[in-house]
Structure 1
Amino acid sequence: MFTGIIEAVGSIKTIKHHAKDMTISIDCGALDLSDVKLGDSIAHNGVCLTVTKLHDNGYDVDISNETIQRSGFSAIKTGFPMNLEKAMQVSSRFGGHIVSGHVDGVGKIISITELGSAIEYWIKAPDQLARYIAEKGSISIDGISLTTNAIDGAAFKLTIIPHTISQTTMQHYRVGTLVNLEIDVVARYLERLLLGDKAAHSDTGKDNSGKESTMDLLARSGFIG
């Protein structure tokens, strides 16, 4: 588990493509590896990956085809910047929100506007994720724990302070940049929980997208009339 508080920005040194997956070598930048061992989990732009080899100021991780297809990793190349966060320890301060390191989809930055010293970003999420994104709710963008400030359909607004931009890959964002999205884990489990016993069946109470609508779930569960 992670908190979405980025510890360092690293970069990809090498990429080795295999039949259906890849191995990448990471330059970890300022990330402290003194307590990292083989098999440990580190989040890379919000994707939880396992350390398979340690070397000077870095390490290797394997990326499965499933991860490549579900994240922005399909477009990575050498030199690509990476937000890095080591797995949370029991004694760690919980500074962000619960981040699992499992990407739900890829969003696209559709506008960037300077607002004084801050910067406003609008990001378009995949339509199927829109129901899970709430105004003033938590969302992970490339592994960064952030708060949505406004919603417009499947698009949402972020207002980011200079410190966050300077300490993360957000300093490289441009209109059109693809970012990894992870919705708030509470929203994901709440929808499943509201299905009740019907969760065990694959063909009941679903809309055209294959899922029961959130409003139908809330109404059937007595939250709305």
Structure 2
Amino acid sequence: MSAILNSVKTSLPKAMFTGLVEALGKVRRITTAGARRYLEITAPFAGELKPGESVAVNGCCLTVTEITATGFETEATGPTLSQTTLGSLRAGTPVNLERALKAGDRLGGHILLGHIDEVARVRSVQRLAGGVRLVIAVRTENRRYLVEKGSIAVDGVSLTIQHCRQAEFTASIITHTWENTTLKYLRPGSKVNIEYDILVKSAQRAGTPAR
């Protein structure tokens, strides 16, 4: 256990998130310069932001570079664009937003670093009484991070894995979460950012079975 905790401590960056989306923003403008993309995003909490702060955009930790009248500006480089769904964003696209945790904040979801592990695909979307059931397929080599009743982040939203089989998992989403995040726009075939639970990843690195 101590090996796992030590691994977690060395993995934690200055900015952390919980997977509880604060607000839906919208991409207002995108400017491309070489391998960089400059994004202007609307945010209802723009007046509380300062340059240099971290904001998770669809689960990706980005740095605020400027404050605008309706939101903020940020930038993403080649690796971030190619290894997340940020590269496919267009003007008008809605995005999940969450500001980084502050000292003393309650941890309502689970610890997220804002570092995307892979881009996965939605296999199915099933409407249920009181919510929605999602089935998402991940890369075969990452199935070891899937733990039933464990946590996972999908586009920055903290979810609980209900079932996992081979290289896919099922998550049930309550109506409130579905209606107040970009998850409501998902369809079979949609691509999503996945961040696995840091505790599960640390257990794997420490050689401790996660299951």
Structure 1: gaps spanning 5 or more residues: 195-216
Partner SS for 2:48: coil
Which deviates more from structure 2 when the two are superposed, residues 121-130 or residues 138-147?
A: 121-130
Give 1:21's aligned amino acid. R
Q: How far apart are residue 176 of structure 1 and its match?
A: 1.1
8 A Cα contact 2:23 2:96, kept in partner: yes
Match of 2:170 in 1: 157
Match of 1:16 in 2: 31
Distance 1:119 1:12 in 2: 26
Q: How far apart are residue 42 of structure 1 and its match?
A: 0.2
Match of 2:19 in 1: 4
Match of 2:69 in 1: 56
The answer to whether residue 184 in structure 2 is matched with residue 171 in structure 1 is yes
Match of 1:46 in 2: 59
Distance 1:68 1:124 in 2: 21
* Deviations 1:67-104 (CA, angstroms, capped at 9, x unpaired): 01110122111111110000001121110000000000
Q: How far apart are residue 35 of structure 1 and its match?
A: 2.7
Which of the two has higher C-alpha Rg? 1
The answer to whether residue 107 in structure 2 is matched with residue 110 in structure 1 is no
What are the within-5 Å matches in structure 2 for residues 1-225 of structure 1?
Answer: 1-28=16-43, 30=44, 32-194=45-207, 218=209
- Structure 1 or 2: more strand by fraction: 2
Q: How far apart are residue 117 of structure 1 and its match?
A: 2.2
Higher relative contact order, structure no. (Cα contacts within 8 Å, ≥ 6 residues apart): 2
Give 1:48's aligned amino acid. C
Distance 1:33 1:27 in 2: 8
Match of 1:197 in 2: none
Partner SS for 2:183: helix
8 A Cα contact 2:46 2:68, kept in partner: no
Structure 2: gaps spanning 5 or more residues: 1-15
Give 2:87's aligned amino acid. S
Count of matched residue positions in the alignment of Structure 1 and Structure 2: 196
Which deviates more from structure 2 when the two are superposed, residues 136-145 or residues 182-191?
A: 182-191
Q: What TM-score do you get using the length of structure 2 for normalisation?
A: 0.89
Distance 2:39 2:148 in 1: 36
Give 2:22's aligned amino acid. E
Give 2:205's aligned amino acid. R
Q: How far apart are residue 193 of structure 1 and its match?
A: 2.2
Q: What TM-score do you get using the length of structure 1 for normalisation?
A: 0.84
Distance 1:115 1:22 in 2: 38
Partner SS for 1:96: coil
Partner SS for 2:24: strand
Match of 1:198 in 2: none
Q: CA RMSD in A?
A: 1.5
